[in-house]
Chains A and B, each alone.
Chain A
């Protein structure tokens, strides 16, 4: 299995880490029908992702029965490229192991594996929580604040919800926060130049991989490599056993193991909002539910909310496609682990560092706009309405578009032909005498 991101690729703002293995793709309609942003078309018997529409939510990876949709990520071999290597383990990593009562075991295993330092994403998440709590009290803040932690959600809002872009939290994601803090610690400690320090995020999903290479909200990510949780998981298991047997588990430096309950809870759905210590929040998981919630929010149906946590994956980050454990079981394990932790282990001692905030504006991208001008769009919309009447309304996907409406839009824009619809084609062939034997 090849899972290395090609280094030659251009990382524009519509870069994605989800890829198609053409050999394995059979051109069926599974991904086509389940893509929440209608980003997929089947053309010439193969699935294609329209990159402007894709939000890296991985719905296609979940449903592809042929495993043709793949997440790409950096390989662990890339650790060799750096002199000083830092691991950023997310809280959902702790939820993958059975009977884990101390996260120090996982953190120690990461050091044994070859990392020189470990910075818990959960520890950085507590800083994000603290800054966000202050933000909610600031009367200049546009409420409700929407999470910036799920890259898929940010990408969704960017293409679908022009009126909500400004509600996205200006605070960076916990991963980015952790990377910034870890790099500063490493440079102080080692005096090495930045390029010799490698920051490795252990990612539960392709969206976070994408966000390292083509970040939204920050000009350049301080994370250097995004490796898959599923890749490192089997490497950590034997090391953890060894450490537990040798009793070395307690030798971990204090600054490495500091995240408390608030930070660890971020791994599951509701954890981020819970850390804000307000009741006026909404926490929604699963991409379809997220879209519905954003629609309602856009229509001002939700009143008096301060914060909205949205997770593209059901269950939150434990539900990422690169996680190993069942997300609901993982959440149970997080709860067990939480029991032994202090409420919060990290706090901001001095002023909020500037790297805690986005340094680039997230702009609405009108990728679904039909025409260049209003007149052109209206013209296309009218053609679409005419075409729709001809189609059977079955949304069968046989034409290669997810719905009859999507196909009508493609046809009206000249991207597909009316006769790609097998029902229209049958009528046409009937008329021309080509299907006489099968006439019904």
Chain B
């Protein structure tokens, strides 16, 4: 079975559209009969990633690949990068500005949640170049 691939360009700084890509991925997974738990995990992880890119990186891309074993999510931006990835992975750590937090975003749970809801999580980031997160959610546990 060859994988199904989905690609999304996420525009930056537009909160009204933030979440469109993760919502589309979620609805396509529902049409494929993926188990509800897996859908939930994928939806939360991609939504967090999408929001992160909108807040911090002026947008980016999301790619999803679905095959018989797993769903691979690649979330990539060319934003400012993360100086201290270890610190950014801590729950509650945030660099979001006040006006973003006033909107209910930027609670410092983005990256931790992405890790928590996926089976494999890899992040590479370079200051000035951007960030790439690759996550996998297994279809059966």
Mark A residues whose CB is within 8 Å of B: 160, 162-163, 295, 298-301, 364, 366, 368-371, 373-375, 377-378, 381-382
Q: Are B40 and A381 in contact (CB under 8 A)?
A: no
- Contact A299:B30 (CB < 8 A) given known A162-B36, A364-B36, A381-B4: no
Chain B residues, CB < 8 A from A299: 19, 22-23, 26, 43-44, 47
Q: Are A374 and B23 in contact (CB under 8 A)?
A: no
Give the complex CA separation of A299 and B37 in angstroms.
12
Q: Is B102's beta carbon under 8 Å from chain A? A: no
Give the complex CA separation of A375 and B34 in angstroms.
11
Chain A residues, CB < 8 A from B34: 374
Q: Are A375 and B1 in contact (CB under 8 A)?
A: yes
B32 touches which one: A160, A301, A378 (CB < 8 A)? A378
Secondary structure dominating the interface of B: helix
Give the complex CA separation of A381 and B64 in angstroms.
14
Secondary structure dominating the interface of A: loop
Q: Are A381 and B43 in contact (CB under 8 A)?
A: no
Chain A residues, CB < 8 A from B47: 299-301
Give the complex CA separation of A74 and B66 in angstroms.
49
A382 touches which one: B4, B23, B33 (CB < 8 A)? B4
Q: Are B68 and A374 in contact (CB under 8 A)?
A: yes
Q: Is B31's beta carbon under 8 Å from chain A? A: yes
Q: In the complex, which residue of chain A has the Cβ closest to the Cβ of B22?
A: A299
How distant is A304 from chain B, measured CB to nearest CB, in Å? 11
How distant is A391 from chain B, measured CB to nearest CB, in Å? 18
Q: Are A378 and B39 in contact (CB under 8 A)?
A: no
Q: Are A370 and B22 in contact (CB under 8 A)?
A: no
Q: Are A300 and B44 in contact (CB under 8 A)?
A: yes
Give the complex CA separation of A369 and B34 in angstroms.
9
Give the complex CA separation of A300 and B40 in angstroms.
9
Chain A residues, CB < 8 A from B40: 163, 298
How distant is A156 from chain B, measured CB to nearest CB, in Å? 13
Q: Is B17's beta carbon under 8 Å from chain A? A: no
Mark B residues whose CB is within 8 Å of A: 1-4, 19, 22-23, 26, 28, 30-34, 36-37, 39-40, 43-44, 47, 66, 68, 139
- Contact A378:B1 (CB < 8 A) given known A299-B22, A369-B31: yes
Q: In the complex, which residue of chain B has the Cβ closest to the Cβ of A375?
A: B1
Q: Are B23 and A370 in contact (CB under 8 A)?
A: no
Q: In the complex, which residue of chain B has the Cβ closest to the Cβ of A377?
A: B32
Chain A residues, CB < 8 A from B43: 298-299
Q: Are B4 and A378 in contact (CB under 8 A)?
A: yes
Give the complex CA separation of A377 and B1 in angstroms.
11
Q: Are A370 and B36 in contact (CB under 8 A)?
A: no
B28 touches which one: A366, A375, A381 (CB < 8 A)? A381
Chain A residues, CB < 8 A from B28: 381
A374 touches which one: B2, B32, B39 (CB < 8 A)? B32
How distant is A244 from chain B, measured CB to nearest CB, in Å? 53
Give the complex CA separation of A374 and B33 in angstroms.
7
Give the complex CA separation of A172 and B22 in angstroms.
34
Q: Which of B4, B32, B44 has the most CB of A within 10 A?
A: B32
Give the complex CA separation of A69 and B39 in angstroms.
35
Q: Are A162 and B31 in contact (CB under 8 A)?
A: no
Give the complex CA separation of A374 and B39 in angstroms.
14
A377 touches which one: B33, B39, B44 (CB < 8 A)? B33
14 residue pairs of the A-B complex, CB under 8 angstroms, read A163-B39, A298-B26, A299-B43, A299-B47, A300-B44, A301-B19, A364-B36, A368-B30, A371-B33, A374-B1, A377-B31, A378-B3, A378-B66, A381-B28
Give the complex CA separation of A163 and B41 in angstroms.
11
Chain A residues, CB < 8 A from B22: 299
Q: Are B33 and A369 in contact (CB under 8 A)?
A: yes
Q: Are B31 and A381 in contact (CB under 8 A)?
A: yes
Chain B residues, CB < 8 A from A301: 19, 47
Chain A residues, CB < 8 A from B3: 378
Chain A residues, CB < 8 A from B4: 378, 381-382
Besides A368-B30, A371-B33, A373-B33, 18 more A-B contacts (Cβ < 8 Å) are A163-B37, A298-B26, A299-B22, A299-B23, A299-B44, A299-B47, A300-B47, A301-B47, A366-B33, A370-B33, A374-B34, A374-B139, A375-B1, A375-B68, A377-B33, A378-B2, A378-B3, A378-B66
How distant is B101 from chain A, measured CB to nearest CB, in Å? 13
Q: Are A381 and B36 in contact (CB under 8 A)?
A: no
Give the complex CA separation of A163 and B36 in angstroms.
6
